[in-house]
Structure 1
């Protein structure tokens, strides 16, 4: 089934921290938006070749609006600058989704760790954990207190949330959160790459769930030529060294949904019917990689000579 896609109206544009804007998006005719669960994100099409993914950070029960938050990134590729400088209240923007590769799984206890704009997917998770009467804590870091979004909303959780601006407390002290993770506890983390790397080093892998905004460095893999059979059409496409599966199938005239081209958004996830993928994405869990059932064709390749994909 094709994902939901529509032009939504920017109903509100609000500065929620230094360099962070929150956008409230509504359907122009007041129609309900698709349901979503904590951890979901949407694709926002800002212009030709300018498409970005933003986590939904509002209330999943409110089907009248979606809320996202956008950090201005001076060294970025133009998406955040467009949102901050050109997109205004009343403007329309095309969106697609939602998708969720960072779902909140049922657990008796949670430990949440957020860094900077990484608070966005975590925020609705806190409300869900609270509603489920689960035990949970949040460690939330940022450069300065003024740069940390939604601290006002977090005040309702006094006693469970630790706000730790770097200029006041230094780097996040992960020890109390990660050195002793009891059975039945899940750890959710989202934020900049160095924080995620530090958490992955200290946390039992079976307990950890992360979402990356930037691709994780991957070890070098096979760059040999291989073939991809497209099961829906019976066609076979050759993928040369240095060319992605995505680019090869698009060059052959096959329409495929894609967005980030970095293996972080999950838009191009494709079912693998035969063959062994060489996973190079930053989305799939190790269990999902081991199953070999899907792959992100924008970055992943083949461990053998042939793949059969459901395209």
Structure 2
């Protein structure tokens, strides 16, 4: 624990900013039912389109104002943070697991297995990520579970490419050759010898990819093919406020700013983890 605090103290300002924002984000998401001043879908038609407290006509009863149905924007922002984290983390784990396994198999066995997996990667790269996600969500239907599965299934390619490249190098190391000489099985060598040497890069890549996944979820939801409207998400909030962008701009501005700051902070944390793992990469894009 002391080593972790030491690394944080010696981190850059952007890394500290990212860590603070992500930590606050996690706390808010976990404590959403306690912190939210109203229910997620509580409707007060008499207060519809009430402006934020810093604008004329606003009040502290609704700090960030209300939407077209009179729902509290702050409350929905808090609950939306929970959905964004769930989608980003769970979909990221799904993509990481699939990508790491395929990358290990391709790099270690080579031959026809490598050819098949490499061609799968080429096919996935031939389609824009968001376009493929749109097709799958449209086919499966809009729901939180389907969005997570689609973003996870379509997001394994970067992990597979990274792990495959590292496995091709690691499998030539002396400790791997020694394991072969001792008669260790392929499964033991892959998961006991090679995996620990390549998993760090995959985890760092996964951390940096969470922001992309959250943006993808917001994009799908904004287009009406993501999470259903009855669930508060930042993408839903932006989509719902699109028709009022000139008369009630806070409906899109506030969740948009939250989405921007959150995703940038996650990237800052990913950069920090990368630098901690290998200081030689500091400042290298």
> Shorter-normalised TM-score: what interval?
under 0.3
Q: Which has more radius of gyration?
A: 2
Higher strand share: 1
Structure with the higher fraction of residues in helix conformation: 2
Which protein, 1 or 2, shows the higher relative CO under an 8 Å CA cutoff with sep ≥ 6?
A: 2
- After TM superposition, the score normalised by the length of structure 2 is 0.23
